[in-house]
């Protein structure tokens, strides 16, 4: 039975013999480090009397990815004050009130509140919406921007209907109901696909969009089967809607390979299965991913790869994220490397240094999920 129906969540750490008190102490320490550690550790920074931002330490900015991640972290741990501070900073400095992208959030903003871009990134919007709905269900709606459910519904409305009555582009392609990498380009990012979120959006969105989100969940699950390699299970950073890897026409890089964004796919598959158990394929794919790292490239799990497993002899930018997401995949995996991935993760500390932001976000989510604490608030 899935967690949505039972309200019961797998504690994979306990399953493999780790003590409940040690798990809780470790989770508390992770949160304290990321939110309230010293300046060389934390990512959360109060701003003024009632706001806060979550910094990308590698780029010295605040991103919708990180701000929405931090809000999700807060609602899962009952940190309402921090949640509200982050949300107010987001609405104050990231929200776009006019122009082509009116109603969305600027994906990158300087720490003084100045926008670096007037374009959005859809992975931020979907996490904002989910965090807002969870906040509404856990704490109740407040006034103004703290009417969480109203804000979440309005944001999802923009994501689906943008361009119908005023200039702009929707974040989901209307023809196939797949999330775009950015609204004005016709390709996608496999790690953006969160069918388990869309299942919940269909329950809490505006009534006229309920069917859209049900279909979006189904379409994303079918898409992921195409995007993840049939042998390795690896997904590219970017792909066409048919799942074929592609690079960006705007920024040439490693995007057709298994690279930074791609790591999140394993984690997403794990959480999707934990929450809904809607597809046994999620178990098969996570098994393949864990087999690839624990067997095929054992000892070389910190490099760049083609999705077919070909090794690119260059160091990955976020090696801790690879370990964390492979472990989180154990929520779905039924293979022989499930425990090994969890044990490797347990024995790995948080990342330090200027590149710690992305790795430690995924580290926290993995620990939250594997300890049975990444919950659906309804």
Residues with catalytic function: 65, 261
Find, among 94, 80, 81, the residue nearest to 135 by Cα: 80
Q: Rounded distance, CA 239 to CA 224, Å?
A: 10
Task: Please give the distance of CA 255 from its chain centroid, rounded to a whole number.
Answer: 18
**CB neighbour class for 274 (10 Å; exposed up to 12, middle 13-18, buried from 19):** buried
Nearest to 224 by CA among 186, 268, 171: 268
The tokens describing 282, both together, are: 């999620």
Rounded CA-CA distance 205/208 in Å is: 8
Which are the contacts of 33, defined by CB distance < 8 A and separation ≥ 6?
41, 42, 350
Phi, psi for 309 (deg, rounded to 5) = 100, -5
For 95, the 3-state DSSP assignment is strand
Q: How many CB atoms lie within 10 A of CB 285?
A: 27
CA distance 216 to 194: 9
Residue 302 has a CB neighbour count (10 Å cut-off) of 15
């Amino acid at each position: 039975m899935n967690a949505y129906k039972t309200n019961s969540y797998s504690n994979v750490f306990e399953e493999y013999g780790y003590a409940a008190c040690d798990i809780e102490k470790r989770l508390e320490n992770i949160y304290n480090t990321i939110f309230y550690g010293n300046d060389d550790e934390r990512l959360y920074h109060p701003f003024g009397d009632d706001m806060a931002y979550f910094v990308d330490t590698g780029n010295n900015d605040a991103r919708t990815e990180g701000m929405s991640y931090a809000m999700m972290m807060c609602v899962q741990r009952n940190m309402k004050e921090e949640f509200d501070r982050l949300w107010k900073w987001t609405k104050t400095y990231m929200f776009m009130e006019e122009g082509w992208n009116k109603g969305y959030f600027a994906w990158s903003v300087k720490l003084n509140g100045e926008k670096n871009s007037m374009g959005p990134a859809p992975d931020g919007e979907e996490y904002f919406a989910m965090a807002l709905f969870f906040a509404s269900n856990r704490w109740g709606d407040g006034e103004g921007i703290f009417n969480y459910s109203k804000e979440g519904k309005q944001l999802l409305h923009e994501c689906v209907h943008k361009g119908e009555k005023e200039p702009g582009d929707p974040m989901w392609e209307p023809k196939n109901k797949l999330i775009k990498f950015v609204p004005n380009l016709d390709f996608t990012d496999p790690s953006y696909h969160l069918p388990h979120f869309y299942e919940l959006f269909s329950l809490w969105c505006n009534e006229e969009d309920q069917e859209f989100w049900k279909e979006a969940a189904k379409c994303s699950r079918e898409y992921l089967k195409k995007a993840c390699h049939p042998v390795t299970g690896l997904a590219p950073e970017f792909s066409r809607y048919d799942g074929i890897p592609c690079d960006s026409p705007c920024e040439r890089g490693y995007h057709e390979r298994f690279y930074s964004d791609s790591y999140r796919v394993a984690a997403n598959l794990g959480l999707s299965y934990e929450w809904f158990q809607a597809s046994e394929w999620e178990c098969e794919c996570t098994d393949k991913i864990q087999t690839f790292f624990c067997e095929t490239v054992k000892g070389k799990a910190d490099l760049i790869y083609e999705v077919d497993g070909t090794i690119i002899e260059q160091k990955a930018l976020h090696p801790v994220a690879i370990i964390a997401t492979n472990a989180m995949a154990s929520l779905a995996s039924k293979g022989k490397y499930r425990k090994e991935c969890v044990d490797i993760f347990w024995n790995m500390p948080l990342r330090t240094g200027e590149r710690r932001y992305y790795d430690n976000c995924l580290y926290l989510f993995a620990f939250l999920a594997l300890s049975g604490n990444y919950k659906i608030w309804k």
